């Protein structure tokens, strides 16, 4: 009876928090930043920065998962609360490319759409990577403005790639066909310059926040940083250095950008009513040597489904509501952001479709206010590569039905030169299905609570009950299954963005 009463009191407190405060909400999304890249997550030489301050002042997740180890699927899931395979963000290209005529489907309901409908101002800057055009080079029908963002500033609708290198470390000059920047729906640079990029994001976001604060209107902001995806850079306005070299300098600039926004929030007096979530879209790209991320003790990285590819840093901060220095060791999905933010804003998640994200407000404001870690929840998460179910996380265990080979650091000598300098853009294994994908029957089993590095396989014969439970949950997961239409296989050359089609080079660096 006492436990039931305590739970009722807790639920009442949570309900009053969500109905009374309606916090401003900010998602800071890093790009390819690994679980071990930050000082607060254990990197021995990365400099401390404002992101680490967030971890000290709020809640740090130790078992937070992206839904995918690649950009487009993970971002689609974050904004919709749904597995990429349900949305259709799968296919042979694995990501949305420049020439993809598809994008995030219009009939998907996004987090900013729901928040906008309950009175929030919604804004976005940074990397999008969820589609651009359909069958013409400048239609822009898949851009963020069409998915719930009322204000969209400077953005990269595709991404920052190896071919955009301006340092001359890898390229003589950037390739304009791969490197372009928009403001809302208009190309403003092709190729784009990195030199003031992070500062531009910061300045535009600061203005957006100030405007909404003056209107006394709650806001949702999605700041999707370019760091630390290749090509590596630090801008003229920052020019950070690091003991880790150019990669560490990029982490410092990323953290600087977060810190500048935090300064603005505090100066406007809205710190106590602003919920911050920092995370990364997937794990670090380990094949890029010293210019790729660090996933700490976790095995693997970007493009595979060992822990290093999908377990990512995650920090929640909300002064007065989330206790400083809290460690959350429960199994959490980035998709939970969707449902949790919707409920805190007083909105309702769609009831006409499966929403895979959970409302984790009780975990955030309840039992996990303790500073010690808690028992692992017996929750299951599903990880698809393309439309192949690669692995599940279930309670303390990770079960792999397929894997990709992971090289040791010593085996990268053919692609990593002096000091770890990468000689090429490279994945050891990327596509699935492909010859490099390994099927496991019986599946591989690891206890990732005891063995997060997935070094010691467990004997399937000794874990028959576990496998039966997983089989039952898979059958339940698959019942009434509706797989979305494949959106990542179509390719259409005229979809390639071009600032001026009369110029063969598509080069238009406007003043």
Task: Kindly name the residue from 129, 147, 229, 463 that is annotated as catalytic.
Answer: 129
Separation of alpha carbons 476 and 284, rounded Å? 32
Nearest CA among 84, 169, 188 for reference residue 129: 84
What radius of gyration, in Å, describes the C-alpha atoms of the chain? 22
Separation of alpha carbons 197 and 360, rounded Å? 34
Separation of alpha carbons 447 and 457, rounded Å? 8
* 3-state percent helix, strand, coil for the chain, nearest multiple of 5: 30, 15, 50
Four-residue CA torsion sign, 49, 226, 70, 357: positive
223 DSSP β-pair partners: 28, 125
Per-residue b/e over 307-336, b at no fewer than 16 CB within 10 Å? bbbbbbbbbbbbbebbbeebebbbbbbbbb
Task: Kindly name the residue from 71, 164, 289, 498 that is annotated as catalytic.
Answer: 71
Has 71 been annotated as catalytic? yes
- Listed in sequence order, the residues at least 6 apart from 205 whose beta carbon sits closer than 8 Å to its beta carbon are 123, 125, 153, 221, 223, 261, 264
Has 440 been annotated as catalytic? no
- Starting at the edge strand that comes first in sequence, how are the strands of the sheet with 274-280 ordered? 186-189, 181-183, 151-156, 121-127, 219-224, 24-30, 274-280, 314-317, 59-61, 326-328
Separation of alpha carbons 364 and 359, rounded Å? 10
Q: Name the residues annotated as catalytic.
A: 71, 129
């Amino acid at each position: 009876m006492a436990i039931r009463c305590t739970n009722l009191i807790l639920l009442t407190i949570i309900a009053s928090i969500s109905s009374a405060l309606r916090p401003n909400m900010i998602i800071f999304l890093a790009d390819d930043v690994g679980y071990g890249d930050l000082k607060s997550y254990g990197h021995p030489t990365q400099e401390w920065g404002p992101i680490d301050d967030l971890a000290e002042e709020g809640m740090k997740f130790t078992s937070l998962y992206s839904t995918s180890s690649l950009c487009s699927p993970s971002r689609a899931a974050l904004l919709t609360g749904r597995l990429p395979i349900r949305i259709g963000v799968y296919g042979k290209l694995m990501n949305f490319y420049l020439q993809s005529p598809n994008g995030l489907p219009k009939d998907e309901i996004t987090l900013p759409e729901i928040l906008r409908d309950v009175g929030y101002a919604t804004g976005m800057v940074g990397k999008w990577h969820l589609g651009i055009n359909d069958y013409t080079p400048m239609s822009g029908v898949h851009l963020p403005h069409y998915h719930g963002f009322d204000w969209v500033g400077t953005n990269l609708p595709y991404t920052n790639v190896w071919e955009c290198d301006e340092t001359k470390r890898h390229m003589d000059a950037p390739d304009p066909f791969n490197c372009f920047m928009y403001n809302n729906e208009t190309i403003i640079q092709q190729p784009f310059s990195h030199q003031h990029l992070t500062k531009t994001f910061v300045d535009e976001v600061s203005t957006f926040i100030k405007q909404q604060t003056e209107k006394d209107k709650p806001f949702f902001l999605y700041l999707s940083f370019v760091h630390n995806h290749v090509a590596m850079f630090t801008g003229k306005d920052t020019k950070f250095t690091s003991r880790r070299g150019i990669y560490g300098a990029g982490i410092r600039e990323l953290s600087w950008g977060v810190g500048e926004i935090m300064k603005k929030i505090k100066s406007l007096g809205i710190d106590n009513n602003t919920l911050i979530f920092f995370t990364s879209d997937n794990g670090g790209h380990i094949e890029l040597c010293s210019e790729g991320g660090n996933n700490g003790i976790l095995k693997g990285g970007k493009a595979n489904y060992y822990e290093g590819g999908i377990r990512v840093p995650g920090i929640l901060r909300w002064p007065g509501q989330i206790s400083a220095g809290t460690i959350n060791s429960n199994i959490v999905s980035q998709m939970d952001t969707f449902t949790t933010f919707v409920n805190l804003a007083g909105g309702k998640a769609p009831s006409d479709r499966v929403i895979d994200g959970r409302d984790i407000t009780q975990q955030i404001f309840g039992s996990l206010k303790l500073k010690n870690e808690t028992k692992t929840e017996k929750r299951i998460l599903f990880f698809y590569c393309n439309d192949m179910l690669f692995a599940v996380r279930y309670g303390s265990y990770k079960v792999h039905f397929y894997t990709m080979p992971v090289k040791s650091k010593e085996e990268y000598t053919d692609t990593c030169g002096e000091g770890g300098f990468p000689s090429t853009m490279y994945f050891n294994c990327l596509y699935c299905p492909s010859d490099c994908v390994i099927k496991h029957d019986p599946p591989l089993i690891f206890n990732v609570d005891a063995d997060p590095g997935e070094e010691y396989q467990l004997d399937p014969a000794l874990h028959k009950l576990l496998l039966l439970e997983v089989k039952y949950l898979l059958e339940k997961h698959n019942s009434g299954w509706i797989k979305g239409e494949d959106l990542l296989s179509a390719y259409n050359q005229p979809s390639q963005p071009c600032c001026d089609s009369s110029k063969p080079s598509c080069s238009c660096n406007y003043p």
